[in-house]
Amino acid sequence: MSADLEPATGGVSRLAERVATALATLAIAGLLAVAILITADVCLRYFFASPIRGFFDVQPLAFAVLLAGCMPLALARGSHIAVTLVGDRLGGGRMLDRFGRLMTLLFFGLMGWQYLRYAAEMKQTGQTMAVLRWPVWPWWGAVAMLVVVAALVALVTLDKRRARAD
């Protein structure tokens, strides 16, 4: 059985994939920018003993946002790892696949809810970055929104069928 999925049908599924593709494209461009900044930070630190001020604060939060930006596309295209051994051996693979998609939807929905709560807590407590003193809640709010988008993509693609390789 192939891990590829049949293309989604319907306008909502196509829209979800287009939005997910745009988000992932921006996230990958952001990852490239962060990689360049890491290189610049290391070079500045090594050669001039002058790192980029506050980059240590921003980098982990940027990675969280950028990683979350890639999640919707992985769900839209079914690019995640799927183990089909049990379904192939016992039959009912389609039912197990749908159950797995439902669990994925629940997982991303709950994770999005928790990130929203976390961002609200960071705002309420006034949590800031150590060096730059910027508030951290907008970063976690962005992560929350992107995870909610991933949950919505999981919902829209709930009825996708796994393509057979045989």
pLDDT digits (tens, 9 = 90+) for 5-32: 444 456 888 899 999 999 999 999 999 9
Higher pLDDT, 103 or 100: 103
Share of the chain above pLDDT 90, in %: 69
Residue type, position 133, single letter: R
DSSP string for 31-71: HHHHHHHHHHHHHHHHHHS-PPTTHHHHHHHHHHHHHHHHH
pLDDT value at residue 8: 45
* Greater pLDDT, 87 or 39: 39
Kindly state the DSSP code that residue 165 receives in the 8-state scheme. Answer: -
**How deeply is 103 buried, as exposed, middle or buried, from its count of CB atoms within 10 A (0-12, 13-18, 19+)?**
exposed
Q: For residues 102 and 110, give the distance between their C-alpha atoms in angstroms, rounded to a whole number.
A: 12
Q: Is the pLDDT of residue 148 over 60?
A: yes
- pLDDT one-digit tens code per residue, 28-79: 999 999 999 999 999 999 999 999 999 999 999 999 999 999 999 999 988 7
Q: Given 3-state DSSP classes, what are the helix, strand and coil percentages for the chain, each rounded to the nearest 5?
A: 70, 0, 25
Q: What pTM value is reported for the model?
A: 0.84
Res 98: pLDDT: 84
Give tens-digit pLDDT for 108-119: 999 999 999 999
* pLDDT given at position 156: 92
With cut-offs at 50, 70 and 90, classify the pLDDT of residue 92. low
